[in-house]
Structure 1
């Protein structure tokens, strides 16, 4: 997920749907026997009609014996459009959408389940599939996944006398940051902005402490927030993290002054342009091992159609997009980790640098998983508010998270 969708955006979208707003869309329903055109909506406006992505869509259509009509929207716009199109009965046949939105669309009755469409999801690991599930039913399959890890600057660590192999848990990471500061360099940068990006970046530490989103004020959650707060107090992380997006945080790391940066798979291309040697390690859990990080990436889903006879061809289109051969090409183009072990192995064979990302994805978690569904945005907003309050010094981690738990509990009743 390059830009996690905010709870505010989802709330606005649902409010628009409830208000009965309308939008002009091309109808896709009707008699399946009379139509050979199938529509696909995706969130990739950066890929034009001459791209490999569109060529794949067209090839999948040809293999299924139909013509594919593709429309692309920005992520937020896409969700709005599909909610309103579903209200009008003009939803596309295939929808590729940001994974946290799946539960919103499923609970709104927009998506057909895998039981309805007979989609095969058996090759997808449960931790990735979880983001596409709601109330025990599956509503799509991931086209790819990305997540978070720690980039590091080899020369900064070497000058500070830090062996990256020694960084295995919170204590050893904090010790490394202290050495870096003592050597006259900067420690770690991340995004703690008061939006979904802030929650997205905090979750590996939150989950890595053993905390659960249903209890924001647990001792484990407080320990995670105290870690970040102490880093700012000690000067190991800059005050700018409070306003940093993932992009501006990366820009800080790219100056060459920082030892570490928490960021995502999507920065691999930029990492090669920094002009310094870098490496990548997983975000460590408090007592060692890899912390679960939130998954980003899109799901291929099937909106509800009045003419259920269309599902048979739709299933062929989805199977084509998710096939091993096509999946490898797609995730390579999108800088994603493949959702299946077979394709992950091919990725690592082609680019060993991806192994750390594959390992991170294997223990990653969907934000709407644990059966949170549409409750997640109502929990995430109090969480990022608590992070902001603690990092700014206006509240202690305990007080900030106690307030967050009260707000989340009230919002999710």
Structure 2
């Protein structure tokens, strides 16, 4: 746990209106006035689209019933949830169980809001280590992933066939670029992706960045320059459209859905739309510079446990979290959310039910958390400089080297 001063800095970063008072953050969901028996447990999640009739809420209630308690559940928009939790922690009224986007875990943990698995006795041994990393900070683990999504390359079979491209030949950056050149020569469009100046842009760029061998602690390394140059050259050569600089993942998918593009970088959440696209498609992992599967960033939420003044509540909370993470319940949850399960046992069940998910399982196994490598709350500051550099290079206002040199200088100053 960081000092009180450090926790104040973390909260100021995440929510400027919250100031942490001296000492450890103390939270409690049990209100003796309204719940004298302490048998009501609160759960907050980022799924407001699911109402009481949904399978998700039914599962929460079932887990509560199995643990002998009543569940009070509230769904918040993802952008609101972090602020709500920080305020609730300050007011000693945090929920018993919190499901939150994985990059936020380090912010909440370093602010003293979350209990570690040492406190809650959660068993994390079955969780894939690379996925669990997004929920670790300071050598401790804060929760478990409910599931994961990540990025890969969708491809249009008809476009590649017309261009004379065998998808099996696309194994690294050079062969992918060669395929894009053939597609352009055949009168079709090459690849679309999202390079917008937000976290979404960094999320899409990271497979190429990590696939080059670059590390986020050194934004101006030769490997990093190679990754930015790859995207920049694709735009210059007309292999990728100028629109990528403003594309979200949704708008880049809409471009691919026209049937004119050979490739699109996107995620598991587009599988349903892919089936409706009206053309035959396939999926391959994002390749590394010299082959193999590039590490893509993990998306998805963690089930975590906010700190409680009454630590006796952790016993029941542990039962609730374990219920949500059980093999049978995990399969139902990840299927509903279009996620890949965080355990190999459930991943095997997913592939057995749908062989198309094999490529996504492989991508998730190679993926890594954005806040990993001990970046924690420094990640958002570094990410902002990364997407700023990519934007500058794609727009032509700076060379890749100059853009990344400036980004490294700014990131170093921001993370002192």
Distance of 1:374 and 1:140 partners within structure 2: 17
Runs of 4 or more above 2 Å deviation: 10-14, 29-33
Aligned to 1:201: 204
Aligned to 2:108: 105
Residues 321/120 of structure 1: CA separation in 2 closer, same or farther (3 Å cut): same
Task: Please tell me whether residue 385 in structure 1 is matched to residue 388 in structure 2.
Answer: yes
Task: Please tell me whether residue 289 in structure 1 is matched to residue 292 in structure 2.
Answer: yes
Aligned to 2:147: 144
Distance of 2:290 and 2:12 partners within structure 1: 37
How far is the alpha carbon of 1:11 from its aligned partner? 6.7
Distance of 1:338 and 1:48 partners within structure 2: 23
Aligned to 1:405: 408
Deviations, residues 132-186 of structure 1 (Å, cap 9, x unaligned) = 0001000010000000000000000000000000000000000000000000000
How far is the alpha carbon of 1:29 from its aligned partner? 3.0
Task: Please tell me whether residue 317 in structure 1 is matched to residue 320 in structure 2.
Answer: yes
Contact 1:146–1:265 (CA<8 Å) still a contact in 2? yes
Partner SS state of residue 260, structure 1: strand
Distance of 1:152 and 1:44 partners within structure 2: 30
> Unmatched 5+ residue regions in structure 2?
1-10, 22-26
Equivalent residue in structure 1 for 2:126, among 116, 123, 128: 123
> Unmatched 5+ residue regions in structure 1?
1-9, 21-25
For 1:1-12, list aligned pairs within 5 A: none
Distance of 2:36 and 2:100 partners within structure 1: 27
Deviations, residues 177-203 of structure 1 (Å, cap 9, x unaligned) = 000000000000000000000000000
CA RMSD of aligned residues (A): 1.6
Partner SS state of residue 17, structure 1: coil
Partner SS state of residue 18, structure 1: coil
Aligned to 1:28: 29
Aligned to 1:6: none
Distance of 1:399 and 1:33 partners within structure 2: 63
Contact 1:229–1:390 (CA<8 Å) still a contact in 2? yes
How far is the alpha carbon of 1:27 from its aligned partner? 6.8
Task: Please tell me whether residue 344 in structure 1 is matched to residue 347 in structure 2.
Answer: yes
Distance of 1:260 and 1:407 partners within structure 2: 33
Q: How many residues are aligned here?
A: 400
TM-score, length-normalised on structure 2? 0.94
Aligned to 2:16: 15
Equivalent residue in structure 2 for 1:235, among 228, 234, 238: 238
Equivalent residue in structure 2 for 1:75, among 78, 87, 105: 78
Distance of 1:17 and 1:223 partners within structure 2: 41
How far is the alpha carbon of 1:95 from its aligned partner? 0.2
TM-score, length-normalised on structure 1? 0.95
Contact 2:12–2:18 (CA<8 Å) still a contact in 1? no
Partner SS state of residue 16, structure 2: helix
